[in-house]
Structure formats: structure tokens, C-alpha cells
Chains A and B, each alone.
Chain A
Amino acid sequence: MSGTFLGMPSFQAAAKEALGNAQQRRNLEHATRTIRGKRAQVVAELDDWEGLRRTAAAIKDNVLTHLDSYLLQLEESLTRAGATVHWASDAEEANRIITGLVRATGTDEVVKVKSMATQEIGLNEALEEAGIRAWETDLAELIVQLGHDRPSHILVPAVHRNRAEIREIFLREMGQVGAPPPAVLTSDPRELAEAARVHLREKFLRARVAVSGANFAVADTGTLVVVESEGNGRMCLTLPETLISVVGIEKVVPRLEDLEVFLQLLPRSSTGERMNPYTSTWTGVTPGDGPQDVHVVLLDNGRTDALADSVGRQALRCIRCSACLNVCPVYQRVGGHAYGSVYPGPIGAILNPQLRGTTSEVDQSLPYASSLCGACGDVCPVGIEIPDLIVHLRTRVVDEHRGGVPSGEQLAMKGAAWLFADHRRWEKAQKGAELGGRVLGGKDTIGRLPGPLAAWSDARDAPTPPAETFRTWWKREKGGRR
């Protein structure tokens, strides 16, 4: 039913095509500008944003370097609370477990809360093959599903669609799979949201099985947390009899109290709100309240490979807020589809090649989907040094290709690694690029970079740096607390 990412062309090829899509670019530019503004405002309200980021990074690093013991603790807490824990090495095994659990209930449909992990494993397609309909209930996911489309943003998967396109999709598709939209439907977002409410309510009220992900899994209590806006999450987590949650093994936090850090960072980074409308926590089974049959599928699917890379490991800190997408000049121009994965943007550029390996063309090309402007690293609430990781992965791709014989590109990347190893060095180079940006004016790609980057930029068109770098802007607007 929905599109697939398999057999994607390299990032560069897909990006060239996407660049020709002016409508998509306008939609994206509008959306990311809006959300950047909101984020900056609510981040500035907190006295010690940098301190929170540092704590979050430290908690995640503690988790990742003790993941074996925390996973065992989580399993024990979940089991004590009445949940059944399953372990899945890869997508295929996770899908098999979930399909089996749904079949055992005797139902042939499930309602789904938006979850990156279930998209990553292609659960909807697997369920469909088994004759089970999976209804996406997040509005944007619904738009993507009804439009036979692919998600293009972590937080707002239908960000590439504007209201007129969404209206058309609803009018064309909704009635075929459930309650139809009203005969008269304008493209007013209020009316579109109301049509989705009516369409999905029928499904929520009759659903017997729900599938969710989790933003956090607390090791010491076995508590799972879902952060959302629309209430579709609460519907799925509360009304059905059976709840199956797919949780990446890196989602663990040690103590319930650690949530105080993440519940401040995530909504502000993600939707640019002080707090998202709804956060649900549940701990196994609560008699008389919510699903009485609770399952948790702990998913590896390449995460242990990322864990084994001492530099790449920090990508597993990611809390999927999407702030790095919203500030990325490359993402903004090419959109999410070119990344060939459910994880687009800067996080996709560092996560996909680690989770999937660098054997496919798209995964080899992803570390190059960046102008290395540094904006992503600056906004990341868990302090992932995304530009450093991009450079690290480029070196890895190149090393794997050349079998250890240094090429021009490899040397260029080592040069870049030197550049990124020190903050001031990088800022100086950025400053140079920024001046270049002003001089270049209307031209929107750069031909050749100076110094060690020349060999690299010869081979590709890097987008022109913005007239002001994010770092400069951040310093000016926020006083650069770092």
C-alpha cells in the first residue's frame, strides 16, 4: 500500500530529481522556517539549555556503555509489571513476532501510533502480507498512508504535502477504507483535521490490538513513555485489549527521574512547544485500566553494529526530535525522500549507514548528503556531534572502497576531520565559507572549496552556505552559551 525505500538510487541522484520539485521545496521551506522560529523561542526561555543537553548526553552515554546490564534490568522490570518481553535481532524477526501476536488475538486489523521503529522494520507491509490491515492514526501518517506515499520528515511525515494536496488525497481515498470525508470539504486545516477525527474514531472504538513505539523505556521501573500531540497515541495505548510496543534497544533510560531531562528537551526541540499536548506513561499492565495483554519487542536491527563503533556510537543517543532536519540546508532543498530511509536529514546521514551498513549505493552516498555547515550539531538536544560523525563515516566508506590505499578523497576527509576536531578551527573555516556565501550571491552551488576540501568539492555541487551561519546566528541571538 505505501511506498518503499528499497532499491533507492544514491542520494545525489535522488536529490537532483527532488531539486526539480519546486512545490515540495516551497512546502518544506515554509514548514522548517516556522518550526525553527518556534524552537528558538522556547529554547531561549530555559536558563540552562546547555546544561540540560550535557546531562542528556551523559545519561545516554552511560546507558549505551552499560547497555547489557540496563537491558536486563528493563526486561526484569517489565516482566514484574506484567508485560511480556520479546527480543528481535532484525526487522524480519520483529515482524514475525508481531504478526504472530496479532494473529493469536484472532483479529485482522491493528491501529498504530506513529513509530519510527515500526517504519524502520516495514511492519505495515509485513502485516499486510499476512492479511492484517494496519491503520496509521497520526494525522501526517494517515496522509502518507492514504496518499500511497513515503514519509519525508521524522516529526511531520507529510511535510512535503500542502493543504490542497491533502484535501485531494482525503476526498479520493478516505471513503475507500472507512468513514468518508464530508461531501463539502475545503482545504482549511481545521476541516481536514475534523475529517480525520471522524474517520479514525470509528477505528479506535472498535480496535482490539494496537501497535506503538516508545520514546523512552525506563529500566528501573519498566515504564514506557509515548510523547504525542493529537491524542491518537492515547487512543491506541488505552482502548484496545492488546498493546504491542516496538522499542529500539537504545531507548532505555536508567531511572524514572531521568525523564525530567528528556521531557524538557524533547518537546522544545521537536515541535517548538514548552510541552507537547499529551505524554502517556504506562508500566506493564494496570488492572482495570487499559490493555491487559501488554507486549514489548526489544529491537536490535543494526543497533549493536552502531554500538561497536566507538565514534559512531553517539548516534544512538538520538531521541528523534527532528531539530537537525529543520536546520539542515541540504534537507530543506532536497526533502526527506532522497535519503532513501525513514530517517532523513542529518540524523539519517549518520544513522542509516551504521544501521544498514555501507554496502548499498544510497548508504554509501548518505555521508555526503551534507554541506558540513554544523547547524545540526548545534541544535541537537543530546549533543550528537553530527558533522564529526559525517566525516567519520565518509572516511569509513572511502576506506572500505580503497582497501586502505589513501585516495584524494580520503586525504580530503582526513583534512576535514582535522578541521572538525577543533571548534575554533571549524568556526574559522565556516566564517570563510560564510563570506564566500555573501560574495556568491545568487549562485546556489559552490564549485570548489579551498584547502583540503578542494578534492572533495570538485566532485560535487555543495549548496551555497547561508549568508549567516547557524553558529553566528546562534551567538547573536542567544549569546552562544557553549
Chain B
Amino acid sequence: MSSRAAILGRVSAALAGADRVPPPRQEYGAPAAVPDVVGLFVERVEDYRAVVEQVAPQELAAAVARALGGTDRVVVPPGLEGAWLSALDGAEVLVDDGDLSPDDLDRCGAVVTAAAVGIATTGTIVLDHRPDQGRRALSLVPDLHVCVVRESQLVGDVPESVTLLRAAVDAGRPSTWISGPSATSDIELERVEGVHGPRTLHVLLVRDGDGLQSPA
């Protein structure tokens, strides 16, 4: 007998005569009562010792350039809004064509991406890796992640965000939930920011409503 059949057989035998518990009646994706979603998001992202700046759409390009500081080589996903990089001065920009190796990415000091959702209560940014966010390795290997989130992408809490995730999963895309820079508490439970993922997370929160559309 295959192990598949054996395991399924053992499961059925174990459950013979068991009370079958129905799924709980659960309202999914209930919106959280968060009075000031923007204010809370900023506060909670800062709590993780990430940098967060609120900018007007017309200030965004300058803010991206400032956030990248003295980085010489920046990688961006293929679908990133070109205008966001219009104020860059001097830095080499690599547009990911899917062929950059992990070593190539390791030679990039920073990455700029958009995001799919921002969660106020937990200060989390969700990437669903559409073309304006790129494949997962892009936002992982470089040491600085500049992430552009629009206010209209913010939700109150985790349930709303999981609901929005379904579209991404149905399209076969992965997702990455980012809450601050990488961190460890493995040494005496003392939190240290910056282990393997980007050691600096710089969030640019754009006051939108005047046509700053996601290209995807």
C-alpha cells in the first residue's frame, strides 16, 4: 500500500465515530474600527524602527532620491512608475529583466518598489509581487528597501488585508508581509534589527487622490 493510502486510511480510522466539528461561522475580512488609519500606520511602522515619511505626490521623486542617498547601484522592478526615479542623480539604475542572479542583486545597494497593501494596526506592508513590486528576490537581497505606499492602499487590520490577498493567490503570485526591517531576538531575546533581509526599510507614504495610479 502506498503511504498516501496508508495515511489517509489511518486518518479515516482515527476519525471513525468522532463528532465532526463544523467550521465556525466566521465573518471574514471584517473592517477594523480604526479612526485614524494613516496616523496609526505611521506610528506602528515607526515602532519597528523603520523610517516612514509622508509625502505629497509631487514631492515623491525628490523623496525617493533623498531616501536612496549615496547608493551607487539601485535595482527596480520592471513595472515601477518611471517618474518616481526622475530626480535620481548619478546612481546606476538596473531594471530587473528576470535574469539578474542573486550575486548581481547582492551588488545592488538598494531597491525601490511599490506595495499592494499597508496594514495600520500592525504597521505591515504587503507585497503581492505585481510588476511594480517585482519578483521576491528584488526586495530581499539589497540592504535598503525604499517602499512606496499610497494612503488609499491602507487598511485597518489583518483581516481586510487577507481578503485582498485572494486575488494575488488566485493569480498564482506569492506574497511577502513586511513589518519593519529584518530582526532577530535570538540572543537573550534582545531585539537586533538587520539580519538577512534589508537592514533599512524606508517607507514613503504618498497622499494620493490626484492620479498617482499604480501601473499594474
| A contacts, CB < 8 Å to B | 27, 30-31, 34-35, 54-55, 58-59, 61-62, 64-68, 71-72, 81, 87-89, 93, 137-140, 143, 156, 158-159, 162-163, 166, 189-190, 192-194, 196-197, 200-201, 204-205, 221, 223, 229-232, 234-235, 237-239, 249, 254-261, 263-264, 271, 273-284, 286, 288-290, 298, 300, 304-305, 307-308, 310
Contacts and interface: CB of A to CB of B under 8 A. Distances in A.
A249 B12 CA distance: 13
A434 B6 CA distance: 49
Interface centre among B8, B14, B23 (most CB of A within 10 A): B14
B189 interface: yes
B195 A193 contact: yes
Contacts of B26: 55, 59, 258, 261
Contacts of A277: 48, 178-183, 197
Interface string B159-177: 1011101100110111111
Contacts of A61: 21
A137 to B, nearest CB: 8
Contact of B182 (A68, A230, A275): A230
B114 to A, nearest CB: 16
A279 B176 contact: yes
Interface in B188-213: 188-190, 192, 194-198
A140 B186 contact: yes
B162 A260 contact: yes
A40 to B, nearest CB: 15
A363 to B, nearest CB: 20
A31 B175 contact: no
B172 A284 contact: yes
Contact of B188 (A55, A163, A221): A163
Contacts of A34: 189
11 contacts: A31-B189, A61-B21, A67-B11, A156-B189, A230-B184, A277-B180, A278-B177, A280-B136, A286-B172, A289-B137, A304-B14
B22 interface: yes
A282 B175 CA distance: 7
Nearest to B98: A288
Contacts of B13: 304, 308
Given A66-B20, A71-B11, A158 B186 contact: yes
A135 to B, nearest CB: 13
Contact of B172 (A55, A87, A229, A283): A283
B15 interface: yes
A139 B19 contact: no
Interface stretch (B61-69, B85-93, B120-128, B146-154): B120-128
B106 interface: yes
A193 B140 contact: no
